[in-house]
Amino acid sequence: MRLSNVTVSTIMKSQGSEWRYVIFSTVRSVSAQELDSRPTISWQRKYLGFLGDPNQINVALTRAKEGLCILGNSNLLWCCPLWKRLLQHYTQRGARVRAADIMVVPNRRR
């Protein structure tokens, strides 16, 4: 299958643009051992980076006209107050899906 008219961009470069559909990858993850239930600002800067900036998140979330898919480590995102509210909002509306719930990995025998 070939896709045409696909744009790959950073949040900064996407400002002012709109697309019908957006797949937004948060690109950040940490192991369960590194998660902090009460993260300090320095912890958030280290592990969340741009994901802790409300202005950049606003740009990311407002580029899609018809559909938005956000890919990310919800355990990490839950540590940020802004993302926590968004995750609660999406969860309450049945719009949050865990990858483990939809992925099927075939059992391959060698």
Q: What is the mean pLDDT of residues 52-72?
A: 92
- Kindly report, residue by residue over 75-85, the tens digit of the pLDDT: 889 888 999 99
Percentage with pLDDT > 90 across the chain: 37
What is the distance, to the nearest Å, from the Cα of residue 60 to the centroid of all Cα atoms in its chain? 9
More confident residue, 70 or 107: 70
Rounded to 10 deg, the angle between the 81-92 and 54-61 helix axes is 30
Contact present, 94 and 65 (Cβ < 8 Å): no
pTM of the model: 0.78
d(CA 84, CA 94): 15
